[in-house]
């Protein structure tokens, strides 16, 4: 996919919010993914550490993003990822795609996808794989 396809006819770029839910204090991976997405032509907003699901949903709506990328290393993914999906739904933003990554066992990844997380990336996933998935699956939301 070329850079031009990441932009709507009105000139709007695909926007992605990268967030660290919960008390997890490790954000190097989130920053690396955010930079890779930015370098691929996406507009990226990074919320920083220690975000609640409500804070993430509020930021996603306020920033008018097309997708939310979550990163977690603390093991609280089964609680926090679905809570972000629910918080977005509660704000009428269920058309915002949620994807994520971190230390997530295979069984949990299946459970998260069933709860509305569109894709779960495992440790060691190449950045190009994440970028390609976002390019193939995230489009600008209807205005």
User: pLDDT of 74-132, one tens digit each?
Assistant: 999 999 999 999 999 999 999 999 999 999 999 999 999 999 999 999 989 999 999 99
Domain limits of the chain? 12-137
**pTM for this prediction:** 0.92
**What is the rounded distance in angstroms from the CA atom of residue 14 to the CA atom of residue 27?**
23
User: pLDDT of 42-73, one tens digit each?
Assistant: 999 999 999 999 999 999 999 999 999 999 99
- Looking at 3.30.1050.10, 3.40.50.280, 3.40.50.170, 2.30.40.10, the CATH number of the domain 12-137 comes to 3.40.50.280
pLDDT in the model for residue 11: 60
Instruction: Enumerate residues 6+ apart whose C-beta is below 8 A from 103.
Output: 72, 73, 75, 123
**What is the rounded distance in angstroms from the CA atom of residue 64 to the CA atom of residue 143?**
9
Higher pLDDT, 86 or 141: 86
């Amino acid at each position: 996919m070329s850079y031009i396809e990441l932009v709507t006819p009105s000139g709007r770029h695909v926007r992605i919010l990268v967030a660290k839910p919960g008390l997890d204090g490790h954000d190097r991976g989130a920053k690396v993914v955010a930079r890779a997405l930015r370098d691929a032509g996406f507009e990226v907003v990074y919320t920083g550490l220690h975000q609640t699901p409500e804070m993430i949903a509020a930021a996603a709506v306020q920033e008018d993003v097309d997708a939310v990328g979550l990163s977690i290393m603390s093991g609280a993914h089964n609680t926090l990822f679905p809570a972000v999906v629910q918080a977005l739904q509660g704000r009428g933003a269920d058309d915002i795609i949620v994807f994520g990554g971190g230390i997530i066992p295979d069984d949990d990844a299946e459970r998260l996808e069933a709860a509305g997380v569109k894709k779960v990336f495992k440790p060691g996933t190449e950045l190009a794989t994440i970028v390609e998935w976002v390019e193939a699956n995230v489009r600008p939301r209807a205005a």
